[in-house]
Structures are given as structure tokens and as C-alpha cells.
């Protein structure tokens, strides 16, 4: 399902609060967005949450929605786009001149983003935010990040790192260019990243 985008492309996800989450692939490799059954990582959206994805040309992007989801993908470069809805529900695709679109997911729907080898993702949290990280073995770790605190995690191939925010907690995601994006997470909303290789570093504040 293919929107292609070049090196440095920023993929944005819009949270219920209206804030955006940005993920940047500095190497120009592919990002995948799938439903819960197709990935070990993702952003779990509460009912009615709007998730937006925008991609210029160069990186392969796939979007799969659960039953009842309304999808749209914007490709500013005019490249080909593909959106799959297993249940056959309607979806929208905007033209290159259109604004960024979104995926409206029903309650419990999960969308995942997989970052290829070498992609650096940054995550920042406001003072006092409680973060949870769970590894593949099920071990759960909690971290409370005071203002200015820095957290770095290096994950081996296939390791799934999940971050869960308490109700109303705001999270910021910073891409390699330094651009910051904020996300306000409703209670139980989970944000995660799957790191496919050794040396893949995730930074959290």
C-alpha cells in the first residue's frame, strides 16, 4: 500500500486532543502502519480518535484499518497511495494539494509504526509524567521523568517498547531535525515503537 517519501520525511499522527505526533525516517527507509493483528507496536486510539498520516515521496507507507474505520492518506508529491480496509468500509484519499488527512478508528483500534534499522526516534515527556516500558518478555518498567530528565533506550531486533500515559498527560515527540510535536493521551492510550535492530536508539525525556 504505497505512499513513497524521501529521506527526512515526517509522518504525523493526530491525537484526540488535536496535537500531532511526528515520526521521522532520516534514512528514507520504510514505515509501516498496520492494525493490531499485524504489528507488535502502535498507537491505540479511543473511540473517535483521529490519526493523520502525511507522506511526501520516498518512503513506503501502508495503512490497514479495522472494521468501521474511515481512512484517508495525503501524498503531497502525487505518488501512488494505497489504503486497505478489511471490512470494505469507505475511505478517503486527498490529492497532492490537499491538507493532511486522517484515519478515524473505532474504539480499541490500534495503528502501529515500525522504524527500520538506523532510524532515530525521540520521545519527550513533561515534568512528572509517568512512563511505562514493556519488553517482549512482559517485564514492565516505570519511569517518572522530572523536568529536563533524559532517558535513552537501545532495543535489540524485534523488541517492542510501549509507552503508556496517565489520563491527560501530554507527550512530545521530537524528530531528528529537532522539530517537536505534542500528543495528549487519554487514559489508557498506548504509544509504542518496535526497534528492528541492535543499536536502534529511542530517546525519552
Q: Per residue in 63-92, pLDDT tens?
A: 433 333 333 333 333 333 333 333 333 333
pLDDT of residue 8: 33
> Which residue in 42, 46, 51 sits closest to 193, CA to CA?
42
Q: Where are the domains of the chain?
A: 9-204
Give the bridge partners for 123, in sequence order.
173, 204
Task: Please tell me the pTM assigned to this model.
Answer: 0.20
Rounded to an integer, the average pLDDT of 146-155 is 32
Specify whether the CB–CB gap between 40 and 48 falls below 8 A. no
Q: How confident is the model at residue 202 (pLDDT cuts 50, 70, 90)?
A: very low
pLDDT of residue 109: 30
Q: Distance between CA atoms of 164 and 171, rounded to whole angstroms?
A: 10
pLDDT of residue 123: 36
Rounded to 5 degrees, φ, ψ at 70 are -110, 120
Per-residue burial over 142-153, b = 16 or more CB atoms within 10 Å of its CB, e = otherwise: eeebeeeeeeeb
- The single residue listed with the C-alpha cell 512530545 is 172
pLDDT of residue 178: 37
pLDDT of residue 173: 40
Q: Return mean pLDDT, the chain.
A: 33
pLDDT of residue 59: 33
DSSP 46-69: PTTEEE--B--SSS-EEEE--TT-
pLDDT of residue 192: 37
Q: Which long-range contacts (CB under 8 A, 24 or more apart) does 149-152 make?
A: 149/205, 150/203, 150/204, 150/205, 151/203, 151/204, 151/205, 152/201, 152/202, 152/203, 152/204
Amino acid at each position: 500500500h504505497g505512499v513513497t517519501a524521501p529521506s527526512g520525511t515526517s509522518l504525523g499522527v493526530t491525537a484526540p486532543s488535536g496535537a500531532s505526533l511526528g515520526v521521522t525516517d532520516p534514512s528514507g527507509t520504510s514505515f509501516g502502519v498496520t492494525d493490531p493483528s499485524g504489528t507488535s507496536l502502535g498507537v491505540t486510539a479511543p473511540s473517535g480518535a483521529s490519526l493523520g498520516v502525511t507522506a511526501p515521496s520516498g518512503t513506503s507507507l501502508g495503512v490497514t484499518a479495522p472494521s468501521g474505520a474511515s481512512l484517508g492518506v495525503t501524498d503531497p508529491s502525487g505518488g501512488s497511495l494505497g489504503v486497505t480496509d478489511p471490512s470494505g468500509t469507505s475511505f478517503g484519499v486527498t490529492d497532492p494539494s490537499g491538507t493532511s488527512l486522517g484515519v478515524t478508528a473505532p474504539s480499541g483500534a490500534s495503528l502501529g509504526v515500525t522504524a527500520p534499522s538506523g532510524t532515530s526516534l525521540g520521545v519527550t515527556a513533561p515534568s512528572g509524567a509517568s512512563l511505562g516500558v514493556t519488553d517482549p518478555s512482559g517485564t514492565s518498567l516505570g519511569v517518572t521523568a522530572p523536568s529536563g530528565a533524559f532517558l535513552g533506550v537501545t532495543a535489540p531486533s524485534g523488541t517492542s517498547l510501549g509507552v503508556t500515559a496517565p489520563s491527560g498527560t501530554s507527550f512530545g515527540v521530537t524528530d531528528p531535525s529537532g522539530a517537536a510535536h505534542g500528543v495528549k493521551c487519554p487514559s489508557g492510550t498506548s504509544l509504542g515503537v518496535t526497534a528492528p535492530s541492535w543499536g536502534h536508539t529511542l530517546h525519552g525525556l
